[in-house]
Amino acid sequence: MIPVLDAVEIILGAVGPMPPEKVSILEAHGRVLAEEVTAPRDLPPHDNSAMDGYAVRHADLRPGVVLRVVEAIPAGADPSRGLEPGQAAKIMTGAPIPAGADTVVQVEDTREADGGVEIVSVPAAGANIRPQGEDVRQGTLVLPRGTRVRAAEVGMMASLGRAFVLVHQRPRVAVLATGDEIVDLDSPAQGAKIINSNSYGVAAQVAEAGGVPVVLGIGRDDPEGLLEMFERAATCDAVITTGGVSMGDYDFVRPVLARAGVAVQFWKVAMKPGKPVVFGMKGRVPVFGLPGNPVSAMVAFEQFVRPALRKMLGHRELFRPVVEAVLGEEAGAVRTKAGRTDFVRCRVERGPEGFRVVRVKKQGSGILSTLVQANGLLVIPAESTGAEPGERVRVQIYDPGILDQAEPGIGP
């Protein structure tokens, strides 16, 4: 067995970002740039008014002075003339500043006069003008390669006139459940049969991480049939199998991977749940063999598959957020075994004094309802044997809703 962090290091050392593809800037939202975006022109492209008001020469200003209005400049129109001494131009927000003007007096500080405008309050020189290139200058690197595209980046690219951009492709991830005991959703689960939850839970994790899940169905406990299904799976960018990776008489996944030419880099990780994890590479395709127990499969996915998919997508932030929390009295003590890392399903709440673990339910690796009730994984390191109520512990947050503010964050 190898430690969790060693396993993570091996996996991340074996995978790299996917090739680029060209998509619209709206499709790029949530993706990672595979190219640099530079400014083809200054933004704004000219000096323009930040207010509705009057473009003037500051040297002409004093309280009560009346200036002659020579034109009105709406947004989107070019000035027809420059300003001479004693003149003003009525101007709208965003309109270009006429030659000779160096200040805009907002309309609230003026009064209409016969044939002109009276200046009631004098602003500072240069007031209410947005200078050319104030946002970005032509040729400036605006968005580096590797930037995760948020709404702000979409707006920025639109401002630069970019309709399309290169982003890293989303990996297609084959998901294959194994076992004669498993039946699919549309089949009756009679006797010892178990409904295939793994394929759908893991596929949802793939989609949540940004990949494209390709659910292949169920591979039976037959080496030849499994090999055929795996060869189809390996045409994707990554492969995930669930079940068949332990040491039972019908656990055929590891020998099938060997026959398929997968270079296995480790088997078994010092963790609970999820110990019997297999990782290898078939050429450039990463292959993950996850345990068959639903909780073990999903917890192992969080630790190993999700960071790999995030790296393939080009992300720099590969891991779930980790917060410090107090283990509450109501949660009780947590007992673990030294020498392995334990990932304990828990419920975390956020209060005025920070995060608090309020519930630790049953930890059986087949009790999927505990993942539904939990929003985080309390991490007990290998050198520890547990935690007592009142101790500060580290929790991986897999439900980002707990990090959202319950109230507007604009108060005192």
CB count within 10 Å of CB 362 equals 9
Question: Closest Cα partner for 94 from 66, 53, 64, 125?
Answer: 53
User: To the nearest whole number, what is the mean pLDDT of the chain?
Assistant: 93
- The per-residue pLDDT for range 250-272, each reduced to its tens digit, is 467 888 898 999 999 999 999 99
Is residue 164 within 8 A of residue 25, CB to CB? The reply is yes
Give the range with max mean pLDDT: 7-11, 218-222, 289-293.
Answer: 7-11
Report the amino acid identity of residue 73. Answer: I
Q: Which stretch of DSSP H or E encloses residue 217?
A: strand 212-219
Per-residue pLDDT at 241 exceeds 90: yes
DSSP structure string for 264-294: EEEE-BSEES----EEEEETTEEEEEE-SSH
Strands (DSSP E) contained in 172-211 are: 172-178, 182-183, 194-195
Per-residue pLDDT band at 277 (split at 50, 70, 90): very high
Question: Closest Cα partner for 95 from 59, 46, 145?
Answer: 46
- The per-residue pLDDT for range 8-62, each reduced to its tens digit, is 999 999 999 999 999 999 999 999 999 999 999 999 999 999 999 999 999 999 9
Is residue 154 within 8 A of residue 24, CB to CB? The reply is no
- The per-residue pLDDT for range 119-167, each reduced to its tens digit, is 999 999 999 999 999 999 999 999 999 999 999 999 999 999 999 999 9
Give the range with max mean pLDDT: 62-71, 226-235, 360-369.
Answer: 62-71
Give me the mean pLDDT over the 185-198 stretch: 78
Per-residue pLDDT at 412 exceeds 70: no
Is residue 224 within 8 A of residue 317, CB to CB? The reply is no
All domains in the chain, ordered by first residue? 4-16+170-312 (3.40.980.10), 24-39+142-168 (3.90.105.10), 48-130 (2.170.190.11), 322-403 (2.40.340.10)
Per-residue pLDDT band at 249 (split at 50, 70, 90): very low
